Structure 1
Amino acid sequence: MQDSRHQLLPGGQLCDRLDCPVVIAAIFITGIGGTFQYGFSVSVLTSPSEFIKELVNQTCLQRYGISLDPGQVSLIWSFTVSIFCIGGLLGALVAGPLMSKYGRKQCLLFNNFTAISGAVLMLSSQKAMSFEMIMVGRLLYGINAGVSLSAHTLYLVECAPKKLRGMVGVTVATFVSFGKFSGQLLGISELLGTEQRWPWLLGFNGFTALLQLATLPFLPESPSFLLLNRGDREACDKALKRLWGDKDYTWEVEEMMKEKAAIQGVRNHSVMELIQNKNVRWQLITILITFTGLQLCGINAVYFYSFDVFRAAGIQEGQLRYAALGTGLCEVCTSIACFMFIESTGKKVLLYRGYLAMSATLVLLTITLFLQTQISWMPYCSMLLVFLFIFCFASGPSGIIAPLPGELFTQPFKSAAYTLACTLNWTGLFLLGMLFPILVVGTFFSWTLWVTFASSSSCSAAPAVACLCGFNVPETRHKTALEIAADFDRMHRKSGEAKRQSTEQDLNVAKSQRDQILILFTKHT
């Protein structure tokens, strides 16, 4: 009883975290060169966009003697933004095989050279008068982010004790939020968002990659990978001792040995084999719906239109960047708060409540946007709802969805699951990055796209994910992949089998009652 209370109380959770200082170090070391890169690259182009467009014009004028019209510049700009997603998709496709062959740590370690190469191109682009170098650099940043999004998440989930796995998983989203906020912060004119310093802003990813390259070698490889993929029990024990200290982790090793026995002789599966395998069908459906819902939930549209909402609320043009900083700071703070109470609340509850709250907030936000020209104080309501929407997103879906493939699937399926999930994520981002800058050329398209995102979220994506998580997905807190698979099997047992078992139970009860009546009758006679 005392142990269970220790796990539920915030003070007990804090003690558990402080008992694993190497795990805490792993969170920061892998995060700064992992999903931080993804978040930073998503937000960093907002500030220097005009300088880059000017570079495009100057390059074409110097080389070919022509000046591009705004439509042509917008097309080149859209491709510059979206090529990051193409790189991310390539990185996601190669991440699975690389992690399975070389390990999570080695994959993260050598992935830093990709980011450093991209940073060198970014830093040289202005002097070389070449916007193509920015495109190639964005492509390399995308490959780096695609690999790190999978490797960083899987490494942390496998290195953390089971009682802290939920909180450690949230830190993946926390570093995404921190990366977005850092891109916004460094992009202000007082720091790197100037005509002279913007190449250093774009090259900042290289410095974080160097930091991880210098510190990651001091961390051990994932214990789960060492035992389940390489079959090295001694190396697994050493890694656990370095990560968790001199503690009794016999129970965790026994659980890994059970999984090893269950997958004995089974190789790592491909994405197609994952899709065709009926034993993990509900886990696959969960990944497909949650990651698709993450793209359709409207969070990217809210970030895209935040400037318009703040501008309508009366914020001066020169202050819009500082107001946008508030959205990034709100997401970071909420994600850190989610880290503190996820283990006491549960992932399932946070996920479906977060999506339902997002859906309701987005409906209200759409209404206030339509009314903001008719009611003087309505723009301030819109601004408040933007922050509320980001709060709902960061308090649940943001931190829970990312580590799901590593929690729901056993070792042979993990790499394929992450590949499939990240492919969905990058495809959605690519379509958004290509279509929005081109289509949003007038008020009509802006409102049409906004209502499309609002409707898809409020009427389909968010409620669909909420219903799936509420009724068809078991709680994953403090459970292994084998236990979660058993829970899925119990929840989705075939109705015919359940009905047959119920009928057999009724017949047995009736037979028992009949036998008792016969015995009583015999005694009486």
Structure 2
Amino acid sequence: MGSKETSLSPMLLLSVLAAVFGNFQVGYHSGNMNAPQQVIENFFNTTWQANYNVSLTTSQMTILWAVTVSSKDFGGIVGALGVKGLADTFGRRNSILIANALSVVSGSLMSISQLCGSLGLIITGRLIFGLFCGLCMSLIPLYIQEVSPTALRGAFTIMSHVSFSLGILVGMVMSLEEVLGNAQFWPLMLSLSVIPAVLQYLTLPFCPESPRYLLINRGQEEEAEAALRKLWGNSWDILTEINKMREEASQTQSKVTLRDFLSLRRYLNPISIIVAITLGAQLSGFNAILNYSTDIFTKAGFSQSQFLTLGTGVINVVFTVVSVLLVERVGRRKLLLTGFMVGALCNILLTVSEATMRCIPGMSYLQVLLVFSSISAYELGPGPISWFIAAELFDQSARPFGMAFTCMLNWGGKFLCSLLYPPLLNLMGAYVYLIFTAALCCAFTFTFFQLPETKGRTFDEIASEFRQANRVVLLKELQKDFRTFN
């Protein structure tokens, strides 16, 4: 691989940065509902009293808040169903722009919820925003993967997760009572995501469509070459890359249906890998900590728990950046295994610290350290890699299905954690973290035995490995059938 191949052109950087404005919006709404929980709950209670002349009970408030928080994640599951249709019909870039409209609508609805005295507008707004999440968290990694050189593919894709983590941190800051997370300004705080949505509309239309989509999906070779030159500059390797795309196109089934995706043997192994990695990441406990960290720190006895929650946002960003620096050096596989192992250890120790906090002095400080360590382990590998690994394991025709499937699993795991963590914590207490430990151990085991390293390998090389595995299995079955026949 020539050095020119990895040179960065201004257009390539602009394309990546314009795309990740979407991830920033998702992160913002993942981090802004924690600190102002009591303020928004007071609005819920006041509105409920005005409409029904009765106050919400504690259990009703718990359920209503869990539904409010998890509605975004449920919307993410539904939104992921549209990824394949949008990506293959309108292209990767245009699909991102189409999905972006959902974010604008969502922010607008939540901004008028207090004015209209409607808690339903908050839930509806978050549900619509969830549809945007389900689309953009698949479409954006898909676009970045297909416009990036192989040597930078992993690092550039994790940039989308860096933007996501930055969004979480900004959401946490904006939701502080001293900033906008108070009784007067919380509707404004919920609507600020419209700003990066507008910025995306001002930048992404000037960026090229995915060259791989143009050549392999649409058969537009001249347009693909022009887009590639615009993205990478006039490097000597452009024609080489075009030839690689041609070769991949010849090996790729022209159209893959959902039935093909779920039944063809060459896709079954990647699907099983995605299930293990994604559910391991989302059931690791990270989402419970992210959504309820303020409550966790308050119960541990810290009076300024919202600032510790802000610390989780800082740790989140720092270790996502570390992942960017390591992913092309260490590889996806090692980062995943390390993250799963450290995360499992943190959850075991969280169980011990939670169970002994009342009788052993200083355990509350250990719990803070473990929460930070758990977030670090997640962002080191499982968090960012679980969102994009599917794009590297499937061929061009099946890639949107793979990303949509990944997105559904990711948002499904987030939804379950957001919805079930509060009642499970009340039911199991400290031992709820053992559920997360079991999920991480299963993910570690499956990753160790099944996931090939994808660092520095082209899409066709990775797909060929699974096609070859399919041929080996098919040959064994044919030999077995031949022996039976004889």
| TM-score, with length taken from structure 2 | 0.92
Aligned pair in 2 of structure 1 residues 309, 132: CA closer, same or farther (>3 Å)?
Answer: closer
Alpha-carbon shift at residue 41 of structure 1 (Å): 1.6
Of 280, 303, 308, which aligns to 1:293? 280
Residue equivalent to 1:400 = 385
Q: Equivalents in 1 of 2:360, 2:292: separation in Å?
A: 20
CA deviations on 1:447-504 (whole Å, 9 max, x unpaired) are 1xx423x32333x322222222222221101212321133345668449959x9xxxx
Kindly indicate whether the alpha-carbon contact (under 8 Å) linking 2:15 and 2:208 is maintained by their aligned counterparts in 1: no
What SS is found at the alignment partner of 1:474? coil
C-alpha change, 1:208 and 1:237, in structure 2 (3 Å) is same
Please provide the CA RMSD for this pair.
Answer: 2.4
User: Residue 456 of structure 1 aligns with which residue?
Assistant: 435
What residue is the counterpart of 2:71 in the other structure?
83
Question: Hey, what does 1:10 align to over in structure 2?
Answer: none
Which of 13, 34, 37 is residue 24 of structure 1 equivalent to? 13
Residue ranges of structure 1 left out of the alignment (5+ in a row): 7-14, 501-525
Partners of 1:296 and 1:461 within 8 A in 2: yes
2:375 maps to a residue whose letter is I
Contact 2:174–2:189 (CA under 8 A) maintained in structure 1: yes
Quote the Cα distance in structure 2 between the aligned partners of 1:439 and 1:390. 20
| Counterpart-to-counterpart distance in 2, 1:93 and 1:389 | 31
Aligned to 1:478: 456
Distance 2:52 2:364 in 1: 46
CA distance in 2: counterparts of 1:269 and 1:150, whole angstroms: 18
Write out per-residue CA displacement over residues 284-332 of structure 1, whole angstroms, 9 at most, x where no aligned residue: 111111112122222223335533553466532xx21111111111111
Aligned partner of 1:511 in structure 2 is none
- Please give the TM-score of this superposition, normalised by the length of structure 1: 0.85
Aligned CA distance change for structure 1 residues 74 and 368 (closer, same or farther; 3 Å): closer
Asked if structure 2 preserves the Cα contact closer than 8 Å seen for 1:338 and 1:395, the reply is yes
**1:380 alignment partner in structure 2:** 365
2:220 counterpart of 1:235: no
- Give the match for residue 9 of structure 1: none
Aligned residues: 477
Pick one of 311, 314, 338 that aligns with 1:353. Answer: 338
Structure 2 residue 249 is matched with structure 1 residue 260: yes
Does residue 51 of the first structure (1) align with residue 39 of the second (2)? Answer: yes
User: Match of 2:193, SS?
Assistant: helix
Which residue does the alignment assign to 1:465?
Answer: 443
Question: Conserved in 1, the CA contact under 8 Å of 2:288 and 2:421?
Answer: no
Displacement of 1:167 after TM fit?
0.5
Structure 1 partner of 2:59: 71
State the Cα deviation string for residues 18-50 of structure 1 (Å, max 9, x = none): 623322222221111x22222222221123322
Cα distance between partner residues in 2 of 1:135 and 1:259: 44
Residue 64 and residue 302 in structure 1: after superposition, are their counterparts in 2 closer, same or farther (change >3 A)? closer
2:405 to 413, 420, 425: 420
Q: Give 1:140's aligned residue.
A: 128
Residue type at the aligned position of 1:91? G
Query: 1:313–1:379: 8 Å Cα contact kept in structure 2?
Result: yes
Q: CA deviation at 1:129?
A: 0.8
CA 201–473 in structure 1, closer or farther in 2 if over 3 Å, else same: same
Residue 148 of structure 1, CA deviation: 0.4
Instruction: Say if 2:293 is the partner of 1:306.
Output: yes
* Superposition map of 1:116-515 within 5 A: 116-248=104-236, 249-263=238-252, 266-270=254-258, 272-304=259-291, 306-307=293-294, 309-311=296-298, 314-316=301-303, 319-438=304-423, 440=425, 442=426, 445=427, 447=429, 450-452=430-432, 454-458=433-437, 460-488=438-466, 493-494=472-473, 497=476
> Could you tell me which amino acid in structure 1 is paired with residue 465 of structure 2?
D
**Matching residue's letter, 1:258:** E
Displacement after TM superposition at 1:378 (Å):
2.3
* Change in 2 beyond 3 A, CA 1:437/1:463: closer
**Is the 1:169–1:402 Cα contact (8 Å) retained in structure 2?**
no
- Deviations along 1:427-460, whole A, 9 cap, x unmatched? 22222232334555x4xx251xx423x32333x3
Unaligned runs of 5+ in 2: 480-486
Q: Structure 1: how far apart are the matches of 2:90 and 2:474?
A: 43
Give the number of the structure whose alpha-carbon radius of gyration is greater: 1
Q: CA deviation at 1:90?
A: 1.8
C-alpha separation between the residues in 1 aligned to 2:461 and 2:369? 42
- For residues 164-219 of structure 1, the C-alpha deviation after alignment (integer angstroms, 9 at most, x for no partner) is 00111211221221121111111112211111110011111211111111111111
Q: Distance in 1 between matches of 2:216 and 2:367?
A: 51
Deviations 1:327-382 (A, max 9, x none): 11111111112111211111111111221121122212222222222221222222
Contact 1:123 1:199 in 2 (8 A): yes
User: Retained in 2: the 8 A contact 1:52–1:131?
Assistant: no
Percent identity over the alignment is 30
Q: Partners of 2:417 and 2:390 in 1: how far apart?
A: 24
Amino acid at match of 1:20: S
Deviation of 1:383 after TM superposition, in Å, equals: 1.4
The SS at the match of 2:20 is helix
The amino acid of 1:351's aligned partner reads: L
Name the SS for the 2:112 alignment partner. helix
Structure-2 change in CA distance of 1:75 and 1:369 (3 Å): closer
What's the CA shift string for 1:73-101, capped at 9, x where partnerless?
Answer: 33322222222122212210112211111
